Amino acid sequence: MAIDYGGKRVGIASTDESGSFALPRFVFPNDRHLLEEILEFKMKEGIERIVIGESKNFLGQPNVIQKDIDNLKKMLEEKGVEVVLHPEVFTTQEAIRLQGANELTDASAAAIILKDYMEYNNLND
């Protein structure tokens, strides 16, 4: 499962049953229910690990939103969830370029993060 974290919306993606493809799934509002919605989806789908897009600028310094990402990571870990940060740059813009802007753009950005994470791990295994 991957998360593209945004101040207003949070994109969610997961893999197919074989773990071969990253699929856009949901866009949740970033509100007080976010943590429980993520945990409910994780449990329902039997997900073992959550990958969250790490937001840094071109100098490798954390963007303003990274503090909120780190906070979400900490809350998930406190619930016993394995969480991994994976670098992401312009995934939302890439999703828009590939499919146009729509209600699942943020979920598609999460799918790009997940695809990159899976490819990175396949190359380094």
What's the pLDDT tens digit per position in 2-23? 999 999 999 999 998 877 899 9
> pLDDT by residue (tens digit) across 72-115?
999 999 999 999 999 998 888 999 999 999 999 999 999 999 99
Are 46 and 77 in contact by the 8 Å Cβ rule? The answer is no
Between 122 and 34, where is the model more confident? 34
- Higher pLDDT: 30 or 60? It is 30
- The number of domains in the chain is 1
Q: What span, in angstroms and rounded, lies between the C-alpha atoms of 80 and 59?
A: 32
Name the band, by pLDDT with cuts 50, 70 and 90, for residue 124: low
What confidence category does residue 117 fall into, taking pLDDT thresholds of 50, 70 and 90?
very high
pLDDT tens string 45-78: 999 999 999 998 888 888 899 999 999 999 999 9
- Domain of residue 95 covers 2-123
CATH number assigned to the domain comprising residue 53: 3.30.420.140
